[in-house]
Amino acid sequence: MDELRGRRGVINYHLQKVTKKSEDTNKLPLLVMSQGYVLGAKSESLGRQNLEAAQRVSSLAGWSVLSFWPSGVGGSDGEFTLSNALEDSLDVVTFIRKNEWAQEVVLLGFDVMGAVFLATAGGSDGVVGVVAVGSDAGPEGLIEPTSLLTRLSLSSVRTPHGYGLAAVTGEARMIEEASRLCLGKIPVLIVVTTDRYRNRTADSIFGAVNFSKFELHSFITDEVSLRYDPQVYAVLAGWLDRNF
């Protein structure tokens, strides 16, 4: 794993490059990915999981991928909160542009990092597209504070003492409000599990979104399996081809 310096300390990342096939592909944005955390995974195994995920997504999408763990996860310093994860994401985008690896990025976030990445796009002109995959994918009610706290307790994520329901609820509202700033302005793909989440997403954002820049897909599976479902990557590859 490589490291970059963010506001919360060291952020662990892995950059998986692909061989460019033509001059046009050199102009592609960099695909920036974060899984957020993995339920049941031991902290010491997350470095390897991050590398494998970056390789898998790069191979299936045909893009170079930078994958990172937010603060409080794996070897990244600090503690995980929604606000810290948003700061981390903005720091990663700044780092990429400062080092001239790419001037534009597309963000791919799993679970709660999908909503965090939508908020990141609202605060950075370097983000030209967002893909949010998982139950906590996108704005207006899909970050469920109680569910998020339960899942964090079942993971190896380090959170601040007293990071409870009130704090998470307030941060979730902030994330969701910031997320709406990018909807209708840049291409957004949201992939959710089951029609229940699809309907909640549709009810909350369809009325405010420019349909030409927004796609919503649902698969009948669980959030963990969704990370490895080949259908998801087929949808991702097609969306990337159409928009970039």
Domain boundaries, given as residue ranges, for the chain: 2-45+52-243
Per-residue pLDDT of 4-55, as tens digits, reads: 888 888 999 999 998 665 555 557 899 999 988 877 667 777 778 888 889 9
Average pLDDT over residues 77-102: 94
Question: Which residue has 């699809």 as its token pair?
Answer: 198
Which one, of 231, 200, 188, 72, lies nearest residue 136 by Cα? Answer: 200
- What is the value of pTM for the model shown? 0.89
Residue 63 Cα distances to 39, 59, 66, 224, angstroms:
27, 7, 10, 23
Per-residue pLDDT of 178-209, as tens digits, reads: 888 887 889 999 888 765 555 555 555 545 45
Q: Is 166's pLDDT higher than 70?
A: yes
CATH of 2-45+52-243 given 3.40.50.360, 3.40.1000.10, 3.40.50.1820, 3.30.70.1140: 3.40.50.1820
pLDDT of residue 129: 96
